[in-house]
Structure 1
Amino acid sequence: MRNYWALFGKDVRRDKHLYVLLAPYMVLFLLFTVLPVVISIIFSFTHFNMLEMPRWIGWENYSKLLWNDDVFLIGVKNTLIFSVVTGPVSYIACFLFAWLINELNPKLRAFMTLIFFAPSISGNVFFIWQIIFSSDSYGIINGLLMQLGVIYEPIQWLQDPKYMLGIIMLVQLWLSLGTSFLAFIAGLQTVDKTLYEAGAVDGVKNRWQELWFITLPSMRPQLMFGAVIQITASLAVADVAMALAGFPSVQYGAHTIVTHLVDYGTIRFEMGYASAIATVLFVMMLGSNLIVQKLLKRVGE
């Protein structure tokens, strides 16, 4: 251990200008990312209502969360269904669209990138989907189906638990071409073109083999970054659910872990319990990211 710290001190002295440049980011990262996470984990073992001093209660919040909170379990089920469906689909869609658009000429590529990226940076895009899935006969889907004679009375799309989760998945997929999509576009443009020539000499015969053995291994950092973004977005879904299905949703049909966190953290102000919910979500995200990292290491093998 002493030798390790001696080597570390030697590295710091040798590259001190690099550590000076990194210092502002590291200080901000520790203050506004690491420290809040640590404090939240500590609060998760306390009873804290924002009015009294935190009182240590050990594992009581987690016991209540996992064994006595049926609404939280509904949120876990909905979140897992949502993430299993939208996470991989949106990740693959981001890469495929980026791969296809990257083949276009620069001007057309820039235009198509803007078209695909626009929904993720727009304002209140949920208003459009509220009109499309409006529960009266003036809603676009209801009006079309009634005109075709498929249905004879409007369907309560955003109030019926049978439909609301699927609609939220659809909207989230529409919004998913965001940061990951741009990262993949950037990664594809940094692939060394001479690798394709070398691959052709070594026996790479078609575009799919180029993709698997050359393109994907060359952009592992972007693939990892995109995976982290998509996992986080799929497990932390809340805004779409609350905007379309309301809060709380009918029979908790669109309830997620984050909406449960919002309920206890910003409405009931049970911060200890909310911190326990946040910690469980943090563990789920961390575990998912570790699994994805292991899978991405096998790309190109």
Structure 2
Amino acid sequence: MDQTIKMKPLASYRKTRRKDAFGVFLMLLPYTLLFSVFIAIPVALAIYLSLTSFNVVETPTLNGLVNFVNIFTQDDVFLQYVLPKTLTFAIIVGPGGYMLAFVLAWMLAQIQKLPRTIFALLLYTPSMIGGVFIAVIWRTLFSGDESGYINALLLQWDMIERPIQFLQSPDHLMTVVIIVALWSSMGVGFLAMLAGILNGNEELYEAAYVEGIDNKFQEVIHVTIPMMKPQMLFGAVMAIVATFTNGYIGVALSGANPTPQNAAQFITNHIDDYGFLRYEMGYAAALSVVLLAIIIVFSKVAYKLFAEKD
């Protein structure tokens, strides 16, 4: 009798555990499927293809690490132009756009709700329709003839004798690409920072001023940034990913891939060149794996800076 009574609660407990486990499984299933279909499986396929020789028409044949060896020993364009320009662009636009996003988010948080909403929308819009703006506005501004607004003004002011080829010259294209990238860098990371500032704990600010903080700069350094580390981390990761995948800007401005004299040739452009123009998919996959590794390294640095310490 006593044994039967003891077994009933145990059976009920096990049944409840099975129900809980099944409920957790159902809740995780959509995320697991989406993660597998759009991230895990494509990454696994890219790693596999990076170890093959594949021209789209024939069946991939394994060739080991030949593609990676060729990238770092035979690909002069990658070593002399693509990698240095990608890292230069990332170092300038990544931290620059990130700090600009935080400063603008903090400034917007100080004004009324209606103008804040309007300005936030205006700042966020270029990140959504940047390609249209690049094709219509920026190419018109920097056009290499007298119809380009910049050249027209410089000619009118007698600052130059003939139009400057901003979008075709290796001396100017990279600068224009950086300007456009910074202009379109107010993406979801910017919105996350704005939300983090607006939802901050007012009691922390009051306590900080009681403890001796007496200006806005100290408030930002000692209260705002530590308080919104999750948003800062999210913004940093999004900035890193966006920076390393921004190769379309140079192609859209110059109208060519590779860009003129590889002036703004980034890893994503190099991947498109080999994958969709030369159809060397195995080599393009190896380049994408290299790009993934670089993004992971920079993301780890961001986690070290902004992740919560236990």
1:104 aligned counterpart, secondary structure: coil
Equivalent residue pairs, number: 290
Q: CA separation in 2, counterparts of 1:43 and 1:175?
A: 33
Contact 2:50 2:67 in 1 (8 A): yes
Q: CA separation in 2, counterparts of 1:106 and 1:114?
A: 12
Q: CA separation in 2, counterparts of 1:227 and 1:24?
A: 27
What does residue range 148-297 of structure 1 map to in structure 2 within 5 Å? 148-245=157-254, 246-297=256-307
1:162 aligned counterpart, secondary structure: coil
Contact 1:12 1:19 in 2 (8 A): no
Change (3 A) 1:11 1:276: farther
| Corresponding residue number in structure 2 for 1:53 | 59
Alignment counterpart, residue 35 of structure 1, candidates 38, 41, 48 = 41
**Over residues 140-188 of structure 1, what are the superposed CA-to-partner deviations in whole Å (9 max), with x where a residue is unaligned?**
1111111111101111111110000010000111111121111111111
Query: TM-score, length-normalised on structure 2?
Result: 0.89
| Corresponding residue number in structure 1 for 2:104 | 97
**Structure 1: stretches of 5+ with no match in the other structure:** 1-9
2:214 aligned counterpart, secondary structure: coil
User: Percent of counterpart pairs with the same letter?
Assistant: 36
Shift of 1:58: 0.8
| Corresponding residue number in structure 1 for 2:74 | 68
| Corresponding residue number in structure 2 for 1:124 | 132
Query: TM-score, length-normalised on structure 1?
Result: 0.91
Post-superposition, which runs of at least 4 consecutive aligned residues in structure 1 deviate over 4 A?
Answer: 10-16
Query: Are residues 1:44 and 2:38 paired?
Result: no
After superposition, the CA RMSD in angstroms is: 1.8
Comparing both chains, which one has the higher relative contact order based on Cα–Cα distances under 8 Å and sequence gaps of 6 or more? 1
Letter of the aligned partner of 1:124 in structure 2? Answer: V
| Corresponding residue number in structure 2 for 1:85 | 92
Q: CA separation in 2, counterparts of 1:143 and 1:84?
A: 32
Change (3 A) 1:43 1:12: farther
Shift of 1:222: 1.0
Letter of the aligned partner of 2:180 in structure 1? Answer: V
Letter of the aligned partner of 1:252 in structure 2? Answer: N
Change (3 A) 1:59 1:226: same
Change (3 A) 1:222 1:19: farther
Contact 1:102 1:109 in 2 (8 A): yes
